[in-house]
């Protein structure tokens, strides 16, 4: 694998980030970090989606300009991603000047080649979705099924994109590429939607929507937000209709667009059609994750249960985001909805990260110090009964990541931790020491530490801070590529002194957590 280009959805900036946005960025960061362990060149893009009627109205309601609103909220997203250790390479804002210019050129090209045409239109527009809805998709009460709001009747002369021209070729493409849409069960939904697809409006009258990119050849119209937003995936790399940059040539097509299930239609129908019209290759995968609920209910401003990711870190007094990252990433099987609850969070991270993984390392190193002054003697090295399972787990984890099964991969890693714990329990090195079987005792400890290095590498994408501490105590190089991992990682000689042993993850303090007030 020479390069890996991965993107997230770009978030609307009419509010601050919540843990649903965070879930996606965490998943993406974990996938990106996993692939840095397999390939040298990973490009991770995220950003914010800043145009459209929703932003225009929110800004007006707050008595500020749309640009002021965007600047203020884009910064909140950047701050949140920093707090969560989201290690993106580029953060694109759709108000970036170079993005706006290229979007105008893209629109102009499609117009000139006849993929876009002008047409008078009356339709039902949902501001939440920023798109026209098909009357047959509304609820019985005539509401948008996602936002439960009545769409407004909009009558305008708009530009339209000839989506119908690409219908058959798209259906064929999706059928012939079963791994294009992940998880596969979503592909059928998309194929159904494609059956009654219409040409789509790709501009709005400036008299109604001022906060948008102008159509180059028509100052009365602004470019519809989804053409603008979706193009970020190529403009960020320096795409140009005439002279695409070397960066673009190197990274496009994307290896995966990570998005939520609610915007799959835009990514698996509109976006591929735009790309075909531009004569560009399609992304390799569209991975649609599920939604995060809070205590099993939908997060919404009206229910007052919107949680910001940084408030979780603060209320549990976490020194780094690893536990939250781990919890969110393992909250749901691939593509399914997940849930956040304070109690479940405490229980899971205490059980997995503190009790199982952290304690295992701590206990093993402490015994190495107690019985051998922290030294691994050459005679402790030999056949390791855990090696087969550990190296097998590396392969299984890689396979899961290839299918974007991030929670499934985490379960495999924890099952390796459990196996190592069981091995310690079964072989009781403390009894061996009492019986003065010192070589056997040293072998058991060394076997566990060798496997701990593999665990450390595998869990690194989820918990970059905890694993940095683990790696330091194990003298393990965290930059080791997964394919170079063996079961022989611990060097012989002095490994650690008593004062250098420290717990890598402290149990989340339940009293503190109970007292916490989430904003
Ligand atoms: N701006 C568009 C995306 C344009 S991509 C070219 C948008 N923005 S959004 O802010 O509404 O959502 C951003 C991402 O967050 C989407 O992928 C969406 O699915 C995801 N989530 C929003 N709420 C969520 C949850 N409650 N749970 C998980 N993800 C959710 O759509």
CB neighbour class for 509 (10 Å; exposed up to 12, middle 13-18, buried from 19): middle
pLDDT tens readout for residues 309-326: 999 999 999 999 999 999
- Which part of the chain is CATH 1.10.730.10? 322-518
Q: Does 263 sit in the ligand 1 pocket, CB within 6 Å? A: yes
Q: How far is CA 50 from CA 66, 67, 94, 285, 492, in A?
A: 9, 8, 6, 25, 56
Q: What pLDDT, on a 0 to 100 scale, did the predictor assign at position 516?
A: 42
Task: Name residue, tokens 């053409």.
Answer: 227
Q: What pLDDT, on a 0 to 100 scale, did the predictor assign at position 127?
A: 87
Q: Find out whether 160 and 121 touch, Cβ atoms under 8 Å.
A: yes
Q: What pLDDT, on a 0 to 100 scale, did the predictor assign at position 335?
A: 97
Beta strands (DSSP E) in 100-217 are 116-126, 131-133, 152-161, 181-182, 200-201, 203-205, 214-215
Q: How far is the CA of 52 from the centre of ligand 1 (A)?
A: 15
Nearest ligand 1 atom to the CA of 230 is: 6
Q: What pLDDT, on a 0 to 100 scale, did the predictor assign at position 224?
A: 85
The verdict on pTM exceeding 0.85 is: yes
pLDDT tens readout for residues 130-149: 888 888 889 999 999 888 89
Q: Does 229 sit in the ligand 1 pocket, CB within 6 Å? A: yes
Q: What pLDDT, on a 0 to 100 scale, did the predictor assign at position 120?
A: 85
- Which part of the chain is CATH 3.40.50.620? 4-294
Q: What pLDDT, on a 0 to 100 scale, did the predictor assign at position 157?
A: 87
Q: What pLDDT, on a 0 to 100 scale, did the predictor assign at position 156?
A: 82
Q: Does 337 sit in the ligand 1 pocket, CB within 6 Å? A: no
Q: What pLDDT, on a 0 to 100 scale, did the predictor assign at position 155?
A: 87
Q: How far is the CA of 114 from the centre of ligand 1 (A)?
A: 31
Spans of the chain, pLDDT less than 70: 510-519
Domain 322-518 homologous superfamily, CATH: Isoleucyl-tRNA Synthetase; Domain 1 (1.10.730.10)
Q: Does domain 4-294 have CATH number 3.40.640.10?
A: no
| DSSP structural state of residue 297 | B
Q: Is 144 a catalytic residue?
A: yes
Q: What pLDDT, on a 0 to 100 scale, did the predictor assign at position 511?
A: 56
Nearest ligand 1 atom to the CA of 299 is: 26
Q: Is 320 a catalytic residue?
A: no
Cα radius of gyration rounded to whole Å, the chain: 26
Paired tokens of 364: 């093993």
Q: What pLDDT, on a 0 to 100 scale, did the predictor assign at position 510?
A: 52
Paired tokens of 280: 């560009």
Nearest ligand 1 atom to the CA of 258 is: 17
Q: What pLDDT, on a 0 to 100 scale, did the predictor assign at position 483?
A: 97
Query: Which residue of the set 51, 78, 126, 334 is catalytic?
Result: 126
Q: Does 262 sit in the ligand 1 pocket, CB within 6 Å? A: yes
């Amino acid at each position: 694998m020479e390069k890996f280009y991965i993107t997230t959805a770009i978030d609307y900036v009419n509010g601050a980030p919540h843990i649903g946005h965070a879930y996606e960025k965490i998943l993406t960061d974990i996938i990106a970090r996993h692939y840095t362990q397999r390939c040298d060149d990973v490009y991770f893009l995220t950003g914010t989606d800043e145009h459209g009627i929703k932003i225009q109205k929110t800004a007006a309601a707050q008595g500020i300009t749309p640009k002021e609103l965007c600047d203020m909220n884009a910064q909140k997203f950047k701050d949140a991603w920093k707090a969560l250790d989201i290690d993106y390479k580029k953060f694109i804002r759709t108000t970036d000047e170079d993005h706006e210019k290229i979007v105008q050129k893209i629109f102009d090209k499609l117009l000139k080649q006849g993929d876009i045409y002008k047409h008078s239109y009356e339709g039902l527009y949902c501001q939440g979705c920023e798109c026209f809805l098909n009357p047959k998709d509304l609820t019985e009460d005539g509401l948008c099924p996602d936002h439960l709001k009545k769409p407004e009747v909009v009558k305008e002369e708009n530009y339209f994109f000839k989506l119908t021209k690409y219908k058959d070729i798209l259906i064929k493409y999706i059928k012939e590429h079963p791994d294009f849409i992940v998880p596969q069960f979503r592909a059928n939904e998309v194929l159904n939607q494609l059956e009654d697809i219409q040409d789509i409006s790709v501009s709005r009258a400036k008299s109604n929507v001022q906060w948008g990119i102008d159509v180059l050849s028509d100052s009365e119209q602004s470019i519809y937000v989804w053409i603008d937003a979706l193009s970020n995936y190529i403009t960020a790399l320096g795409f140009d209709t005439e002279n695409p940059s070397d960066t673009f040539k190197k990274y496009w097509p994307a290896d995966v667009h990570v998005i939520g299930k609610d915007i799959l239609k835009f990514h698996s129908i509109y976006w591929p059609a735009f790309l075909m019209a531009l004569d560009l290759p399609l992304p390799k995968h569209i991975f649609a994750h599920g939604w995060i609920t809070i205590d099993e209910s939908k997060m919404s401003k009206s229910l007052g249960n919107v949680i910001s990711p940084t408030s979780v870190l603060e209320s549990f007094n976490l020194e780094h985001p690893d536990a939250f990252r781990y919890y969110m990433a393992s909250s749901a099987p691939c593509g399914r909805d997940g849930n956040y609850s304070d109690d479940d969070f405490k229980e899971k991270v205490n059980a997995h990260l503190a009790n199982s993984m952290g304690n295992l390392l701590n206990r093993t190193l402490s015994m190495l110090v107690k019985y051998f002054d922290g030294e691994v003697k050459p005679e402790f090295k030999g056949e390791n009964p855990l090696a087969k399972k550990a190296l097998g787990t590396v392969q299984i984890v890689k396979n899961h990541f290839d299918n974007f099964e991030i929670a499934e991969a985490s379960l495999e890693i924890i099952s390796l931790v459990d196996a190592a714990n069981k091995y310690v329990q079964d072989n009781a090195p403390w009894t061996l020491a009492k019986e003065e079987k010192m070589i056997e005792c040293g072998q058991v400890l060394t076997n566990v530490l060798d496997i701990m290095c593999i665990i450390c590498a595998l869990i690194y994408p989820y918990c970059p801070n905890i694993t940095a501490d683990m790696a330091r105590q194990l003298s393990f190089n965290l930059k080791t590529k997964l394919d170079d991992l063996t079961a022989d990682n611990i060097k012989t000689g002095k490994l650690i002194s008593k004062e250098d042993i420290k717990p890598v993850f402290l149990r989340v303090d339940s009293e503190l957590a109970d007292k916490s007030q989430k904003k």
